[in-house]
Amino acid sequence: MSMTAFLGRRLLQLVPTLIFILIVVFVLVRLLPGDPASAVLGDRALDADVERINRELGLDRSLPVQFVAFVKQVFTGNLGNSISMKIPVTQLIADRLPITMLLTFMAAVIAVVMAVPLAFVAALRRDRLEDSAIRGAFQVGLSMPVFYVGLILLTVFGAKLRWFPVGGYGDGFLDHLYHLFLPAVTLALSLSAILMRNLRSAIIGVVDAEYVTFARAKGLRANLILFRHILRNALISTLALFGLSIGTLLGGAVITETVFAVPGAGRLMVDSIYGRDYPVVQGLTIALAVLVSVTFLLTDILQAWLDPRVTK
Amino acid sequence: MTVMSVSRLRRLPRAFVFGAAILIASVIVATFPSAFAPYDPLAMDYVNLLAPPSAAHPFGTDNFGRDVLSRVIHAYTIDMQIALFATLFPFIFGTIVGAIVGYVGGVTESIFGRVVDAVITFPFLVLVIAIVSVLGPGLINMYIAIGVVGWVFYARIIAAEVKVQKRLDYADAGRAMGYTHARIVFRHLLPNAITPAVVYWMTDMALAILLGSSLGYLGLGAQPPAAEWGVQIADGKNFMATAWWISVFPGFAIVLTGLGFSLLGDGLAEILRGRK
Amino acid sequence: MTEPILSVRNLTATFGQGASALRAVNEVSFDVMPGEVLGLVGESGSGKSVTLRSLLRLLPVGGHVGGSVSWHGKDIVRMTDAELRAVRGGQISMIFQEPMTALNPVLPVRVQIEENLRAHTQLDRKGRNARAKELMDLVGIPDSARRLDEFPHQFSGGMRQRVMIAIALASDPKLLLADEPTTALDVTIQDQILNLILDLRDELAMSVVLVTHDLGVVAATCDRMAVMYAGRIVEEGDVTQVFAQPRHAYTRGLLGSIPQAGTERSMLLSIDGTPPGLAAIPQGCAFNPRCDFATDICRRTRPHLTGDGHRAACHNSDAVIAAGSPVKKALSHV
């Protein structure tokens, strides 16, 4: 199978997933407590006003009709207006989602930077002091809730030492990076622990593989063996896990953004749930799910590129 | 204890022994919190507001003058319950569905595959938060929300394992002897397929404590003034700079308990690997 | 008499440390002559593969090599990393049993050949490309230019083994170490690969150490053979001599287990029991519990290799010789 055929098949698989996402979101939102009209108008609204709002939102029609209308709207890029903020949901998502994406991306990079070298040390010094220390530290890291880590980092490096801002997003790209650094570290901790564990056992599995012995038998330099023959093969299985972890990372972003007062999509999600702003909840859920699907797609492509057995 | 059983205990992986020790202690504390807590977890002491750790209050007091140590101890009851109840339903339901999917295969399996794809596409926490917001905050609703999503992971593990077991000879033998499908699946295949799911269950309980305390922190799980570690950390978040002990000590309890489950899971996996 | 190109003396391979250390190879000594094919024979667990890997210090983590392996006046066991790298793949090459696992699955064949050339020759990009193609032609892979850019899983089993040989031969080694190179292959392909190795031996004037458990392969390809049991060499000599008149009871048992054309099945001897584990090697001669010729002395003292040219470590050599070789016919059919 060529890379093009592989891509085509993989893109085709997205279709049922996207349909399922839309159904879940549609059903979930119809189940939200209280009717949206009274959320907008308050408890003492007139019946006529409630009816008008319901008509505007299309809630007076039958469910299948609503669903078809909903799918049509989604595909034309119309996700409705925020009830509380009176602006288009797409506008809100365009404003807030990039912040969450940047945060998640930074966290992913930090997690990889922490996990890869330490996984190597742990695997190559297997069962010795270094290995136990690294694994112990990451085990503790894995047991710490995101909000707890965030709170401690915020207090120590923000409030006490004043090395980093205690919240917000800042102005300009570098300032964004500066503001998002602590939240990203917070978010990265558990992912790096998971990656480290997985990569460590992958490396241990590869180190004694026959092709590594063959590479040694060729008289290659240690660095070349390490990077070309060991790391590349070990990364393939870890990469799949990394892709799957992006969803968890985005979920963690909801909490991190709350702790650090970052005005991203996660924070918006929590606020909208509290405020029963259901078009926003709906739009954001779709956007996050699509984001995760696209990440899965990208990791699959990367994996196919690293591992020729996938496509050929 | 006989000499025999001591030597057997020695041969168990260290992770397993440590994990089991932590968890047994946790269960005892969770069952009889009043026997260990020096104070009533809800009793307010307006003379001792935000008191730092001392001999009288080893973990200090919070902004209502409540004893932090007593609250951490009483929280064991709720948090250990969360670990159990948030995972038990997904474990049972997921196991049953997974066994059926793995045994039947075919179209059922493809449909299940799409469901798995879609579920892992939603950030787990986002979905749980959304469901809790539909149902309203509280522990029971939190269990339901986690259960609605969580069973999928167990089902996936069991389905894969049952599929492997199905191809082995003894499954054919069962069919040849005219056993019912249900009997083959649940009496013969499942007991052999269930071990990876049990290992995952241990890890999942650690995750459930993290998730439960996260929802408590966001105000969607256990409700104040109940003592729950996430709620306690949220209570203390505005006092971090001045009275760190309110939030920091409950965190220790979360880490310790989570560590107990992870170690037990790792140790169990090691034992089961060794047996094969 | 010509000088050996490789001289192995008292080679040991140890795994682990202290009381729990295990010796997989014990006091093994042998020579390899220029241009000869030496067979290292034994059941699995006899230490033959570990012996072969120890020659290039290619043991897994935790393994330790002792003794000496002299190569062109230098002791490989005591070489620095840089010296060892020059020998590995450059002067002494190695091929493995299972090409599917010995070739890196995620790299095209070209990279796996050219990295050898990069390490041991001064060739530039163009030169490496030309040499890689030449090597593929040499080992008989058709359409070499195109196939260089394919991945190992795109080759058949026999072709994959040829690829591995091409990689091993890239830098004109003088000695090829072959670890059961045909065990994983179909019988017809086995012959092709063995013939290829023999042809290349002649063409490139190299020596070969061939590890195998298959005496048929030894008869067809080797000049001399050394039989290993429980980490030691128990008999060594010219293949014709050993086949005609085994001096060790174990060798005789092995020879008896080869199925022969034209003989009745009842003639097939086999050795009862299984080889001992490394942690439980019997006292005296390691083979004594399974041996039909064993006497009291076999259970007490370990026999030493004796003899000149054709050597054996057996207390009851005379009885074994008297019993005769179980190989009635010359193994001309292989």
pLDDT digits (tens, 9 = 90+) for A54-66: 776 666 777 788 8
Least confident span in A142-146, A240-244, B7-11, C324-328: B7-11
CB-nearest to A273 from B130, B233, B237 is B130
Q: Taking CB atoms and an 8 Å cutoff, what residues of chain A touch C163?
A: none
Asked if C61 and C105 sit in the same domain, the reply is yes
pLDDT digits (tens, 9 = 90+) for C38-88: 999 988 888 999 999 999 999 887 889 999 999 998 999 999 999 999 999
Domain end point (choices C222, C238, C254): C222
In this predicted structure, the answer to whether residue C265 has a pLDDT above a threshold of 50 is no
- Give dist(CA A253, CA A307) in Å, integer: 31
Asked if B230 lies within 8 A of A247 by C-beta distance, the reply is: no
pLDDT digits (tens, 9 = 90+) for A81-93: 888 888 999 999 9
pLDDT of residue C190: 87
Q: Is the pLDDT higher at C322 or at C273?
A: C322
* Residue closest to A189 by CA, chosen among A108, A276, A272: A108
pLDDT of residue B155: 92
Structural domain count of chain B: 1
Determine, yes or no, domain membership for B58.
no
Closest-CA residue of chain C to A225: C115
In this predicted structure, the answer to whether residue C127 has a pLDDT above a threshold of 90 is yes
C38 lies in which domain range? Answer: 6-222
CB-nearest to C86 from A219, A232, A306 is A219
The verdict on A128 touching C (C-beta cutoff 8 Å) is no
Reported ipTM: the value is: 0.86
Is residue C8 within 8 A of residue C47, CB to CB? The reply is no
pLDDT digits (tens, 9 = 90+) for A160-218: 888 988 888 888 888 888 899 999 999 999 899 989 989 998 898 888 888 999 999 99
Asked if C151 and C21 sit in the same domain, the reply is yes
Closest-CA residue of chain C to A1: C154
pLDDT of residue C268: 43
- Give dist(CA B165, CA B104) in Å, integer: 13
Structural domain count of chain C: 2
List of chains touching B (3+ CB pairs within 8 A): A
Average pLDDT value for chain B: 86
Asked if B124 lies within 8 A of A251 by C-beta distance, the reply is: yes
Q: What share of chain C is helix, strand, coil (3-state, %, to 5)?
A: 40, 20, 40
Q: Give the pair of three-digit tokens for residue A167.
A: 């919240």
pLDDT of residue A22: 86
For residues C44, C50, C51, C55, the Cα torsion angle rounded to the nearest 10 degrees is 150
Which own/partner pairs from C243-246 qualify as long-range (CB within 8 Å, at least 24 positions apart)? C243/C219, C243/C325, C243/C327, C243/C331, C244/C325, C244/C327, C245/C321, C245/C324, C245/C325, C246/C312, C246/C320, C246/C321, C246/C325
Average pLDDT value for chain C: 88
Chains A and B touch (3+ CB pairs under 8 A): yes
Q: Taking CB atoms and an 8 Å cutoff, what residues of chain A touch B134?
A: 28, 31-33
List of chains touching C (3+ CB pairs within 8 A): A
- Give dist(CA A199, CA A195) in Å, integer: 6
Determine, yes or no, domain membership for C105.
yes
Closest-CA residue of chain A to C154: A312
- Give dist(CA C40, CA C56) in Å, integer: 16
Q: Is the pLDDT higher at B132 or at A33?
A: B132
The verdict on A16 touching B (C-beta cutoff 8 Å) is yes
Asked if A147 lies within 8 A of B114 by C-beta distance, the reply is: no
pLDDT digits (tens, 9 = 90+) for B225-271: 888 999 999 999 888 888 999 999 999 999 999 999 988 988 888 88
pLDDT digits (tens, 9 = 90+) for C176-188: 999 998 887 888 8
pLDDT of residue A37: 63
* Residue closest to A182 by CA, chosen among A95, A82, A256, A274: A256
pLDDT digits (tens, 9 = 90+) for B160-182: 888 888 877 677 777 777 788 88
The pLDDT confidence band at residue C7, using thresholds 50, 70 and 90, is very high
**pLDDT winner (highest mean) among A265-279, B84-98, B192-206:** B84-98
Domain end point (choices C222, C253, C282): C222
Asked if C37 and C133 sit in the same domain, the reply is yes
B268 lies in which domain range? Answer: 69-274
pLDDT of residue C75: 95
The pLDDT confidence band at residue B118, using thresholds 50, 70 and 90, is confident
Which own/partner pairs from A52-60 qualify as long-range (CB within 8 Å, at least 24 positions apart)? A57/A279, A59/A35
Q: How wide is the angle at C-alpha A93 spanned by C-alphas A91 and A95, nearest 5°?
A: 70
The CATH class of the A89-311 domain is mainly alpha
Determine, yes or no, domain membership for C1.
no
pLDDT of residue B13: 84
Is residue B269 within 8 A of residue B259, CB to CB? The reply is no
Q: Give the pair of three-digit tokens for residue C2.
A: 């010509």
The verdict on A220 touching C (C-beta cutoff 8 Å) is yes
Average pLDDT value for chain A: 85
Mutate to test the interface with B, among A13, A143, A155, A250 (most CBs of B within 10 A): A143
Closest-CA residue of chain A to B123: A247
Determine, yes or no, domain membership for B61.
no
Asked if B117 lies within 8 A of A289 by C-beta distance, the reply is: no
